[in-house]
Homo-oligomer: A and B are copies of this chain.
Amino acid sequence: MPKPATKHSVRGSRAGRPIMALLDLLGRRWTLRILWELRETALTSRALRTACDEASPTILQTRLTELREAGFVELTDDGYRLTGLGKELFQTFAPLHRFAERWSRRGS
């Protein structure tokens, strides 16, 4: 990748705190969802769009590019899939699934 000086620099990445860069990347719309949908299977760009509730291809493409630059996703003959690094990232918030179930049963 020739890569022209990371166009998508992150907000709040002051003081070389990579966690801020990561939180910023993950905090963009559809990013978490994309990682979630790719968690166990590769998807073509159009299958991904279907999985993501018909999100617009414009933004999906933007996010996929960011995720590829970050090294979390790659494009193969089977479509988009998580890289090894991407799978590691997913593992770090995989417990979110069980939490979400518990959360949905909360009082309010």
Residues of B within 8 A of A20 (CB): 33
A108 at the interface (CB under 8 A from B): yes
A108 adjacent to B52 (CB under 8 Å)? no
Minimal Cβ-Cβ distance residue in B for A23:
B32
Number of A interface residues at 8 Å Cβ cutoff, please give it: 44
Contacts A12-B53, A27-B27, A27-B29; is A18 near B93 (CB within 8 Å)? no
CB distance from A58 to the nearest CB of B (A): 16
How far, in Å, is A52 (CB) from chain B's closest CB? 7
Contact surface of A with B, Cβ cutoff 8 Å? 1, 3, 11-12, 14, 16, 18-24, 26-33, 36, 52-53, 69-71, 85, 88-89, 92-93, 95-97, 99-104, 106-108
